[in-house]
Amino acid sequence: MNKILIHLLLLSTLFARDPLVYFYLLPFDNVQNDASVEWIGPGLSEIVKDKLKNESTLRIQNNDDLEYIMNNRSELLKQPRGSNNLLLLGKFNRKLDDISVTMQLIDIATWEEVGNKSASGFYSALPTLKDQVGATVQGMLADYLPKQVDKAKSPFPDISVRPQKILPPKVSIESERVASSLDAAILELEASMDFVLGAKKREEDAKKKKTVQQSVGEWSMDFTAEQKVDVNPENDQNSALLETVLDQLISNPYQVKLERPNFIYHEDDEQLITVQFKVEYSLKENIIHEMLTTLPYTGLQEDGSLTVFYYSRDKFNFPQYLIDDIISETYRKIPVIQFFDKSRNPSVVLTDTPDSYWHSRSSSKVLYIPSHQFSPLINFTMGGWSMQIAMETVTIPITYEFTLPVNAVENLSNVTIKFVNELDLRRFLDPIL
């Protein structure tokens, strides 16, 4: 009899408890196994956890809890009647700036899918995507969480709640006005003293302040086109990193593949040989990956092989020398190919440039051949609010040709390719030509 009473008490306790939702939340799976974005998976889980923290009938479980319940499924019977055990399987996939997230809700009791949702966003706007994922999961669980019933309002007054006495303000409105006038007068006096002493210029301060004046149905604000954007000290770290990356991009962004020259003998003249020299130009393989993972870009555009990065002033302070270099295009470089003889003297010089000046030059020392086949694969643009870096991820195959006597070709022993800044091209070539 006692055993029966104990079991009845146990059953009544279980049935009396409100049903709960046991929600098993694991880190989102990184589909592409990209180590540079591995942190996104736990971050999405934390956002979901934060969204659901105020749900009183929901119990968030981790990976250890899932393993325990799978090995001890009898524990499901000890839960309050009507409880649900739900597992969220989340995955994310990143392609450049696009991120897609899929969420699958599984009922552990039956291993059936009870919900499936997806979300998408941009890597540069990850906080927005995280909020979207959190709200989506919250919506998927809405049907399993008990509805909160509002208490019926009693027609009788609640005598337990005493109305609070509203005390009059300690300082009258007139006193506040007097204090405000005194503060304004003190500020005006300090500003006047600063102006007299030369510490500040009130006119310059007025230009920096975008004061909006309002009258009846009209708003106005003074501004000037010459006003410069203030430097934000919080952007110093990003700006230093940007300068380092840009120095690397400007100094050496290309990789070059050389093939052994091909020699073609002339059937009509056995004393001459045409030399064909094949070269492949491309950007370094890891350059875009470094741009994606190193700098916090504010926008990304992809069109086939063209990738454009955007960096705005709200995250970077652009130094004036960098702006001047980009606008004047002093970073542009062109390839110069030199063939050397066995004595390490230049015999043939090819300059691949669109500059008409170098196409009109000649030389009495070497065989000089101007060409225009190479095209820059990286370009910088400076706008009013942002800087754009455009990269073309293609390979440019070029074949250079020249003809020399047989003995001159047989004396050739080495070839080099050097990217020379267009502004330094004359200083580099004049001694050779």
Q: Express each pLDDT in 286-345 by its tens digit.
A: 777 777 776 777 788 877 788 888 888 777 777 777 777 777 777 788 899 999 999 999
What's the CA gap between 361 and 213, in Å, rounded? 64
What pLDDT was estimated at residue 199? 45
What pLDDT was estimated at residue 198? 52
- Render pLDDT for 255-273 as a digit per residue (tens, 0 to 9): 899 999 999 988 888 889 9
Beta bridge partners of 92: 30, 101
- Render pLDDT for 176-188 as a digit per residue (tens, 0 to 9): 554 555 566 556 6
What pLDDT was estimated at residue 200? 47
- Render pLDDT for 130-139 as a digit per residue (tens, 0 to 9): 888 888 988 8
What pLDDT was estimated at residue 227? 45
Helix (H) or strand (E) holding 104: strand 98-107
Largest CA distance in the chain: 121
Range with the lowest mean pLDDT among 42-51, 167-176, 293-302?
167-176
Amino acid making up residue 31: V
Average pLDDT over residues 85-112: 85
CATH 3.40.50.10070 domain extents, the chain = 2-144
What's the CA gap between 124 and 346, in Å, rounded? 50
What pLDDT was estimated at residue 109? 80
Instruction: State the pLDDT confidence band at 401, using cuts at 50, 70 and 90.
Output: very high
Range with the lowest mean pLDDT among 95-104, 112-121, 189-198, 260-269?
189-198
Is CATH 3.50.50.60 the classification given to domain 2-144?
no
What pLDDT was estimated at residue 388? 84
Task: Please identify which residue in the block is written with the tokens 């899932």.
Answer: 66
Please check the confidence at residue 25 and state whether its pLDDT lies above 80.
Answer: yes
Range with the lowest mean pLDDT among 33-42, 84-93, 172-181, 292-301?
172-181
Instruction: State the pLDDT confidence band at 122, using cuts at 50, 70 and 90.
Output: confident
Helix (H, G, I), strand (E, B) or coil at 236: helix
What's the CA gap between 266 and 263, in Å, rounded? 10
Instruction: State the pLDDT confidence band at 390, using cuts at 50, 70 and 90.
Output: confident
Rounded to whole angstroms, what are the CA distances from 164 to 6, 66, 155, 156?
A: 50, 50, 21, 19
Please check the confidence at residue 39 and state whether its pLDDT lies above 60.
Answer: yes
Torsion region of 58: left, alpha or beta (phi above 0 gives left; psi -120 to 50 gives alpha):
beta
* Higher per-residue confidence, 26 vs 172: 26
Nearest to 121 by CA among 146, 93, 141: 93
Average pLDDT over residues 97-106: 86
Helix (H, G, I), strand (E, B) or coil at 228: coil
Please check the confidence at residue 72 and state whether its pLDDT lies above 70.
Answer: yes
Mean pLDDT of the chain: 77
- Render pLDDT for 199-212 as a digit per residue (tens, 0 to 9): 444 455 544 545 56
pTM, full prediction: 0.47
Nearest to 294 by CA among 340, 363, 247, 326: 247
